[in-house]
Amino acid sequence: MNIKTRTYALALLAAAATMVFLFQGCGSKNSDAPDGSTISINPTSLTLTNPFLAGNVIQDYTVIARYADGLPIPDVALSISGSFAVPLTSSGPIVSPRYQFYNAPGGDQGGGQAVNNGFIAETDSSGTYKFSIVIFSEVTSTGGLLVPNAFTDTINVMSGTAIGQTSISVTIQ
């Protein structure tokens, strides 16, 4: 191979490597859902009465992100949060969190890992993400006493301007 051909080949290789480096983020995973997209959560609500009688409660959720035309959005970033999830800082009568997020179905029994409130997740190739929460049967009051857990909260799942919500109501009778 002569020097001119070798120089040309090296220049072409360098240009190709530069293009790959510069454009590696284009169309990459973890982008936000585009405007007009929707996020649905199943179940849409959860109501529990006297859950402390049975111990901690595990609840699974399925999130689906869809484009405005209804097609699922693969590999889109999601932000998942709730007001009473771990970690919680409160100066009210109940000073401990009411539930813990897990990054997989089944909570602490399903092989998932505990994640903090406001965690970032990503839909799979079919536009779906599954997670769970463990609702604590008892919580700590300001006096340090364990009391039955009762609360109402909303879990928010957001990506770009799209938002999905599911409600939780835990009561004691």
pLDDT at res. 30: 64
* Nearest in space to 137 (alpha carbons), one of 170, 92, 101: 170
User: Would 54 be classed as within a structural domain?
Assistant: yes
16 in a structural domain: no
User: Residue 112 is part of which domain span?
Assistant: 28-171
Q: Flag whether 132 is in a domain.
A: yes
pTM value? 0.80
**Structural domain includes residue 134:** yes
Question: Cα(33)–Cα(50) distance, rounded to whole angstroms?
Answer: 38
Alpha carbon distances (Å) from 1 to 8, 9, 13, 17, 35: 11, 10, 16, 22, 53
CATH number of the structural domain spanning residue 45: 2.60.40.10
Closest CA to 38 of 13, 59, 63: 63
What is the three-class DSSP state of 33?
Answer: coil
In a domain, 10, yes or no: no
Residue 107, domain member (yes or no): yes
In a domain, 7, yes or no: no
pLDDT at 90: 64
Instruction: Show the low-confidence residues of the chain (pLDDT under 70).
Output: 1-30, 89-94
Query: CA 119, CA 2: separation in Å to the nearest integer?
Result: 56
Whether 39 is in a domain gets the answer yes
State residue 33's pLDDT score. 96
Question: Domains in the chain: how many in total?
Answer: 1
